[in-house]
Amino acid sequence: MRWGYVLTAVGAVTLCVGLSMLAAVPFSLAYGAADLWPLLQSCALTSVFGGGLVLVCRGYPERAVSHREGMAVTTLCWLSACLFGALPFILAGTFPAIHDCFFESFSGFTTTGASVLTDIEAVPRGLLFWRSLTHWLGGMGIIVLSLAILPFLGVGGMQLYRAEVPGPVPDKLTPRIKDTAAALWKVYILFSAIEAVLLMAGGMDLFDALCHTFGTMATGGFSTRNASLAAYDSPFVQWVVVAFMLCAGVNFSLHYNLLLRRFRPVWKDTELRLYLGLFLAVTGIVWIAVSLSGQLGGEAALRHAAFQVSSILTTTGFASYDYELWPFLPQALLLGCMFIGGCAGSTGGGMKVMRLALLVRTAYTELLRLIHPRGVYQVKFGGRVLSPDVISGIWGFSSIWLASFVLGALALTACNVDVMTSFSAAVAALGNIGPGLGLVGPTDNYAFMPAAAKWTLMLLMLLGRLEIFTVVILLVPEFWRK
């Protein structure tokens, strides 16, 4: 482990995070400037810390960056971003307790969208903008962003990229990792711009449109309103958000292909088909169940069903309606969707459609083996044969993911949180969703949780965002041996 290189990389990424705080300044100025100083101070502090690290360590790798260093850099960058991202809240005194500031920042960068704010609308606009911006930065990934703009990271780029965008089968879109990162961000920015324009056409002002765009495209879920998207009584706005949530849950390399007018790989993509099929099926059932219960009717029933299903399936966590008022079946379906999440390579969280599909397929193959003892089977996905390594990697991921979920939920119950709330909060944090069931439903927030429970949730969010291995591996003693 070359600490010089690791710390330089962390410093550089921290510097980027610090500078990005400046983006909130215009909104602070436009809406009374109550939060101008905290923002500028945090920007200065973060940038000085990051820049200082780079200047002091000056570790530019001459040799290839190892897999281990990639993991360490990625995890430390995320920790640094989440901690420094809390500075504006701390300096502005938004929350009485310091761990609440960190919670909000972790929840932002990991695109969870779980909030400890009881009255969002009372917070100055500059801070709210920063809060939503953390989503947007974390959504496509701060490492991917840095890869696109910091040339010296390019040397170990692939290791860093793999550590941040693990996925079952990593796909590089272009020969150079820097171009891949840039391409992903370009697609991301393009989609964000289109959504923001559409939302403004639906009646939002620039500030609200941008904040909600950040929350949607990053599948985050922070809103600028206490009632989330339910505050906008416009079917147009809600349908736009549904469409873009769904887009954000799709593998971004498919969007990239679309922009290059390569339609065939997109049309043939098995994961995309499963994802959309799942969305349509669950939406259909929820729609029927909600309509039968008589709470909603007509277009509203369909809209809220589609909204909540896409919001939970893509792990965004926006609310257009309090689904805890719905019959039990839709609630259970939404809970199930929390485990699934979006597609691999999207900004969504959860276990990812591809992994679950592969688990199901492997299990089915085992059944076939019992029927035809001399049959020879290969697990395939999208016409490609997957090597046993990939499959065992997925089993490993899933078992640690589920173990983290159970242990996290147990830790929450140990903090004296009720069972339903604990389990749904654990999956909502690990899957980077936000709202759960019970006391953390779509109309509630996490403010009441004890401090220990909040730290547990922060850890789960980070685990979920970096897809377990990158973080957990730092806790394995073997990792640190020479």
Partner 1 sequence: MRIVIVGAGEVGYQIARRLASEAKEVVVIDKSEEALRRFGDLLDVQTVLGSGANPRVLDEAGLAAAEIMLAVTDSDETNLIACLFAQALAPHLSKIVRVRNPDYLRYQEKTNRLLAVDRFINPEAETVKTILRLIDLPGAVESSEFAGGRILFLGLRLAKNCSLATVKLADLRRNISDLRFIIGAIVRQNRLIIPSGGDRLEAGDLVYVVCDKSDSKAVIELFGCPVAPLRSICVIGGGNVGAGLARELEARHYQVKLIERDPQRCRQLAGELDRTVVLHGDATDQGLLEEENVGHMDLVVALTRDDETNILSCLLAKSLGVGRSLARVNKFNYLPVVQAVGVEHTVSTRLSAINSILQSIRRGKVLSAVSIKGEEAEAMEAVALEHSGVVGKPLRELKFPRGAIVLCVMRGEKVIIPTGDFVIEPQDRIIILATRNSISRVERALMVTLEYF
Q: Which amino acid type is present at position 67?
A: H
CB of 389 to partner 1, least distance (A): 15
Residue 176 or 369 with smaller CB distance to partner 1: 369
Q: Which amino acid type is present at position 48?
A: V
CB of 375 to partner 1, least distance (A): 6
Residue 372 or 481 with smaller CB distance to partner 1: 372
CB 7 within 8 A of CB 73: no
CB 311 within 8 A of CB 330: no
CB 125 within 8 A of CB 30: yes
CB of 281 to partner 1, least distance (A): 23
Phi then psi dihedrals of residue 384, to 5 deg:
-105, 135
Which of 304, 293, 161, 295 has the alpha carbon at shortest distance from 228? 304
Which of 283, 328, 308 has the alpha carbon at shortest distance from 435? 308
- Residues in touch with partner 1 (CB under 8 A): 368, 372-378, 380, 385
Residue 264 or 374 with smaller CB distance to partner 1: 374
CB of 268 to partner 1, least distance (A): 14
Element (H, E) at 381: strand 380-381
Residue 10 or 379 with smaller CB distance to partner 1: 379
d(C-alpha 444, C-alpha 359), whole Å: 34
Token digits of residue 384: 């490609």
SS3 440: helix
d(C-alpha 285, C-alpha 74), whole Å: 40
Residue 262 or 380 with smaller CB distance to partner 1: 380
CB of 372 to partner 1, least distance (A): 6
CB of 356 to partner 1, least distance (A): 20
Residue 333 or 379 with smaller CB distance to partner 1: 379
